[in-house]
Amino acid sequence: SQTIHQWPATLVQPVGSPLSLECTVEGTSNPNLYWYRQAAGRGLQLLFYSVGIGQISSEVPQNLSASRPQDRQFILSSKKLLLSDSGFYLCAWSRQSYGTEAFFGQGTRLTVV
Amino acid sequence: AQSVAQPEDQVNVAEGNPLTVKCTYSVSGNPYLFWYVQYPNRGLQFLLKYITGDNLVKGSYGFEAEFNKSQTSFHLKKPSALVSDSALYFCAVRDIQGTYKYIFGTGTRLKVLA
Protein backbone atom coordinates (compact mmCIF):
# COMPACT_ATOMS: atom_id res chain seq x y z
CA SER A 1 0.00 0.00 0.00
CA GLN A 2 1.02 3.60 -0.49
CA THR A 3 1.91 5.97 2.31
CA ILE A 4 2.93 9.59 2.47
CA HIS A 5 5.18 11.01 5.14
CA GLN A 6 5.45 14.68 5.94
CA TRP A 7 7.60 16.23 8.62
CA PRO A 8 7.91 17.94 10.96
CA ALA A 9 4.40 18.15 12.35
CA THR A 10 4.98 21.53 13.95
CA LEU A 11 7.67 24.12 13.48
CA VAL A 12 8.33 27.53 15.02
CA GLN A 13 10.87 29.60 13.16
CA PRO A 14 12.09 33.19 13.52
CA VAL A 15 11.62 35.70 10.74
CA GLY A 16 14.53 35.61 8.32
CA SER A 17 15.47 31.99 9.02
CA PRO A 18 15.53 29.29 6.33
CA LEU A 19 12.91 26.61 5.89
CA SER A 20 12.96 23.05 4.65
CA LEU A 21 9.88 20.82 4.74
CA GLU A 22 10.16 17.32 3.39
CA CYS A 23 7.59 14.96 1.97
CA THR A 24 8.16 11.40 0.82
CA VAL A 25 5.85 8.84 -0.72
CA GLU A 26 6.22 5.08 -0.45
CA GLY A 27 4.69 2.25 -2.41
CA THR A 28 4.26 3.92 -5.79
CA SER A 29 6.37 5.28 -8.61
CA ASN A 30 6.23 8.43 -10.73
CA PRO A 31 3.56 10.12 -8.63
CA ASN A 32 2.31 13.65 -9.12
CA LEU A 33 3.32 15.66 -6.05
CA TYR A 34 1.75 18.78 -4.60
CA TRP A 35 2.36 21.40 -1.90
CA TYR A 36 -0.66 23.27 -0.57
CA ARG A 37 -0.93 25.96 2.10
CA GLN A 38 -3.98 26.40 4.26
CA ALA A 39 -4.47 29.66 6.12
CA ALA A 40 -6.74 30.05 9.13
CA GLY A 41 -8.19 26.56 8.77
CA ARG A 42 -10.00 27.27 5.55
CA GLY A 43 -9.24 27.20 1.85
CA LEU A 44 -6.34 25.42 0.22
CA GLN A 45 -3.88 27.35 -1.90
CA LEU A 46 -1.84 25.30 -4.36
CA LEU A 47 1.78 26.39 -4.13
CA PHE A 48 3.69 23.94 -6.31
CA TYR A 49 3.12 20.73 -8.18
CA SER A 50 5.41 18.29 -9.94
CA VAL A 51 4.76 15.63 -12.55
CA GLY A 52 8.32 14.26 -12.53
CA ILE A 53 11.84 14.60 -11.17
CA GLY A 54 13.12 18.13 -11.58
CA GLN A 55 9.79 19.31 -13.02
CA ILE A 56 8.27 21.97 -10.77
CA SER A 57 5.35 24.24 -11.56
CA SER A 58 4.78 27.27 -9.37
CA GLU A 59 1.29 28.57 -8.89
CA VAL A 60 1.88 31.71 -6.86
CA PRO A 61 4.95 33.99 -6.88
CA GLN A 62 6.21 34.06 -3.32
CA ASN A 63 8.99 33.58 -0.88
CA LEU A 64 8.98 29.80 -1.29
CA SER A 65 10.52 27.30 -3.67
CA ALA A 66 10.14 23.57 -4.24
CA SER A 67 12.41 20.83 -5.46
CA ARG A 68 12.00 17.18 -6.40
CA PRO A 69 15.44 15.60 -6.18
CA GLN A 70 14.09 12.04 -6.28
CA ASP A 71 10.99 10.44 -7.75
CA ARG A 72 9.13 10.23 -4.44
CA GLN A 73 10.62 13.17 -2.57
CA PHE A 74 9.26 16.71 -2.60
CA ILE A 75 10.86 19.53 -0.63
CA LEU A 76 9.48 22.96 0.18
CA SER A 77 12.09 25.60 1.00
CA SER A 78 12.63 29.22 1.81
CA LYS A 79 15.85 31.15 2.23
CA LYS A 80 14.30 33.77 4.53
CA LEU A 81 10.94 33.29 6.17
CA LEU A 82 8.39 36.08 6.46
CA LEU A 83 5.62 36.39 9.03
CA SER A 84 3.14 35.84 6.21
CA ASP A 85 4.61 32.38 5.58
CA SER A 86 2.88 31.09 8.71
CA GLY A 87 0.24 28.49 7.98
CA PHE A 88 -0.57 24.83 7.63
CA TYR A 89 1.38 23.18 4.83
CA LEU A 90 0.08 20.04 3.20
CA CYS A 91 1.86 17.67 0.87
CA ALA A 92 -0.14 15.38 -1.40
CA TRP A 93 0.42 12.80 -4.11
CA SER A 94 -1.67 11.28 -6.86
CA ARG A 95 -1.32 8.89 -9.72
CA GLN A 96 -0.98 10.27 -13.23
CA SER A 97 -4.47 9.21 -14.29
CA TYR A 98 -7.03 12.02 -14.19
CA GLY A 99 -9.65 9.91 -12.50
CA THR A 100 -7.65 9.26 -9.36
CA GLU A 101 -7.83 11.01 -6.05
CA ALA A 102 -5.04 12.78 -4.18
CA PHE A 103 -3.72 11.51 -0.87
CA PHE A 104 -2.59 13.98 1.74
CA GLY A 105 0.05 13.96 4.42
CA GLN A 106 -0.72 14.98 7.96
CA GLY A 107 0.51 18.51 7.48
CA THR A 108 3.07 20.84 9.04
CA ARG A 109 1.97 23.73 11.22
CA LEU A 110 4.51 26.50 10.61
CA THR A 111 4.56 29.53 12.86
CA VAL A 112 6.96 32.32 11.97
CA VAL A 113 7.71 34.56 14.94
CA ALA B 1 -10.81 27.15 -16.32
CA GLN B 2 -11.99 24.51 -13.90
CA SER B 3 -13.50 25.66 -10.62
CA VAL B 4 -15.76 24.59 -7.78
CA ALA B 5 -17.86 26.67 -5.41
CA GLN B 6 -19.09 25.85 -1.94
CA PRO B 7 -21.74 28.45 -1.18
CA GLU B 8 -22.07 27.75 2.55
CA ASP B 9 -19.35 28.58 5.04
CA GLN B 10 -21.08 26.54 7.73
CA VAL B 11 -23.87 24.01 7.93
CA ASN B 12 -25.53 23.07 11.21
CA VAL B 13 -27.60 19.92 11.53
CA ALA B 14 -29.03 17.96 14.44
CA GLU B 15 -27.67 14.51 15.13
CA GLY B 16 -29.75 11.88 13.39
CA ASN B 17 -31.02 14.27 10.73
CA PRO B 18 -29.96 14.08 7.09
CA LEU B 19 -27.19 16.41 6.01
CA THR B 20 -26.30 18.07 2.72
CA VAL B 21 -23.15 20.01 1.90
CA LYS B 22 -23.39 21.83 -1.40
CA CYS B 23 -20.91 22.07 -4.24
CA THR B 24 -21.26 23.42 -7.77
CA TYR B 25 -18.68 23.13 -10.49
CA SER B 26 -17.58 24.77 -13.71
CA VAL B 27 -15.49 22.68 -16.08
CA SER B 28 -14.57 22.31 -19.69
CA GLY B 29 -15.30 18.77 -20.70
CA ASN B 30 -16.11 15.86 -18.42
CA PRO B 31 -15.76 16.64 -14.72
CA TYR B 32 -13.70 14.62 -12.27
CA LEU B 33 -15.11 15.58 -8.86
CA PHE B 34 -14.01 14.73 -5.34
CA TRP B 35 -15.03 15.24 -1.72
CA TYR B 36 -12.60 15.39 1.18
CA VAL B 37 -12.96 15.80 4.94
CA GLN B 38 -10.51 17.48 7.28
CA TYR B 39 -10.40 17.18 11.05
CA PRO B 40 -8.56 19.82 13.12
CA ASN B 41 -4.81 19.95 12.52
CA ARG B 42 -4.93 16.96 10.18
CA GLY B 43 -4.52 16.34 6.50
CA LEU B 44 -7.44 15.87 4.13
CA GLN B 45 -9.08 12.47 3.90
CA PHE B 46 -10.65 11.28 0.68
CA LEU B 47 -14.39 10.49 0.92
CA LEU B 48 -15.60 9.79 -2.61
CA LYS B 49 -15.33 10.72 -6.26
CA TYR B 50 -17.34 10.96 -9.43
CA ILE B 51 -15.64 9.99 -12.65
CA THR B 52 -18.37 8.53 -14.80
CA GLY B 53 -21.36 6.23 -14.51
CA ASP B 54 -24.04 6.33 -11.83
CA ASN B 55 -24.97 9.79 -10.64
CA LEU B 56 -25.19 8.62 -7.04
CA VAL B 57 -21.75 7.86 -5.68
CA LYS B 58 -21.22 6.08 -2.37
CA GLY B 59 -18.15 6.66 -0.28
CA SER B 60 -16.59 6.27 3.13
CA TYR B 61 -18.31 6.62 6.53
CA GLY B 62 -21.82 6.43 5.03
CA PHE B 63 -21.42 9.50 2.84
CA GLU B 64 -22.75 9.72 -0.68
CA ALA B 65 -22.88 12.40 -3.34
CA GLU B 66 -25.22 13.13 -6.17
CA PHE B 67 -23.85 14.29 -9.48
CA ASN B 68 -26.29 16.51 -11.40
CA LYS B 69 -25.06 17.53 -14.81
CA SER B 70 -27.93 19.90 -15.62
CA GLN B 71 -27.43 21.81 -12.38
CA THR B 72 -23.64 21.40 -12.43
CA SER B 73 -23.77 20.26 -8.82
CA PHE B 74 -22.12 17.56 -6.74
CA HIS B 75 -23.72 17.76 -3.30
CA LEU B 76 -22.47 15.63 -0.43
CA LYS B 77 -25.13 13.84 1.59
CA LYS B 78 -25.60 11.53 4.53
CA PRO B 79 -28.94 10.08 5.66
CA SER B 80 -28.26 10.38 9.40
CA ALA B 81 -25.63 12.74 10.79
CA LEU B 82 -23.32 11.88 13.68
CA VAL B 83 -21.63 14.29 16.05
CA SER B 84 -18.34 12.79 14.88
CA ASP B 85 -19.11 14.02 11.33
CA SER B 86 -18.39 17.56 12.52
CA ALA B 87 -15.42 18.69 10.42
CA LEU B 88 -14.39 20.79 7.45
CA TYR B 89 -15.48 19.47 4.06
CA PHE B 90 -13.91 20.28 0.72
CA CYS B 91 -15.16 19.74 -2.79
CA ALA B 92 -12.52 19.51 -5.53
CA VAL B 93 -12.23 19.17 -9.29
CA ARG B 94 -9.30 17.74 -11.22
CA ASP B 95 -7.88 19.95 -13.93
CA ILE B 96 -7.83 17.84 -17.07
CA GLN B 97 -6.26 20.43 -19.32
CA GLY B 98 -2.76 19.14 -18.96
CA THR B 99 -1.75 20.19 -15.46
CA TYR B 100 -3.11 17.44 -13.18
CA LYS B 101 -3.96 20.04 -10.53
CA TYR B 102 -6.69 19.57 -7.94
CA ILE B 103 -8.74 22.73 -7.50
CA PHE B 104 -10.49 22.99 -4.16
CA GLY B 105 -13.50 24.90 -2.96
CA THR B 106 -13.28 27.19 0.04
CA GLY B 107 -14.60 24.54 2.40
CA THR B 108 -17.78 24.13 4.43
CA ARG B 109 -17.68 23.62 8.16
CA LEU B 110 -20.22 21.04 9.25
CA LYS B 111 -21.41 21.15 12.82
CA VAL B 112 -23.60 18.30 14.04
CA LEU B 113 -25.45 19.18 17.22
CA ALA B 114 -26.23 16.55 19.83
Greater confidence, A41 or A84?
A84
Q: Which domain holds residue B77?
A: 3-113
Q: How far apart are CA A88 and CA A35, in angstroms?
A: 11
| Distance between A26 CA and the closest CA of chain B, angstroms | 17
pLDDT of residue A41: 65
Chain segment B14-55, per-residue pLDDT in tens: 999 999 999 999 988 888 999 999 998 899 999 999 998 899
- CATH code of the domain containing B55: 2.60.40.10
Residue of A41, A37, A42 whose CA lies nearest to A62: A37
Tally of domains within chain A:
1
Chain segment A69-94, per-residue pLDDT in tens: 999 999 999 999 999 999 999 999 99
Tally of domains within chain B:
1
In a domain, A45, yes or no: yes
CB contacts under 8 A, A 47-106 vs B, are 49, 51, 57, 59, 88, 90, 92, 94, 96, 98-99, 101-106
Residue of B77, B63, B65 whose CA lies nearest to B32: B65
Using CA atoms, how far residue A37 sits from A56, A60, A86, B34, in Å, is 16, 11, 9, 19
Q: Does residue B75 sit at the A interface (CB-CB below 8 Å)?
A: no
In a domain, A64, yes or no: yes
| Distance between A104 CA and the closest CA of chain B, angstroms | 6
| Mean pLDDT value across chain B | 94
Q: Which domain holds residue A54?
A: 31-89
- CATH code of the domain containing A68: 2.60.40.10
In this predicted structure, the answer to whether residue A68 has a pLDDT above a threshold of 70 is yes
Model confidence band, residue A65 (pLDDT cutoffs 50, 70, 90): very high
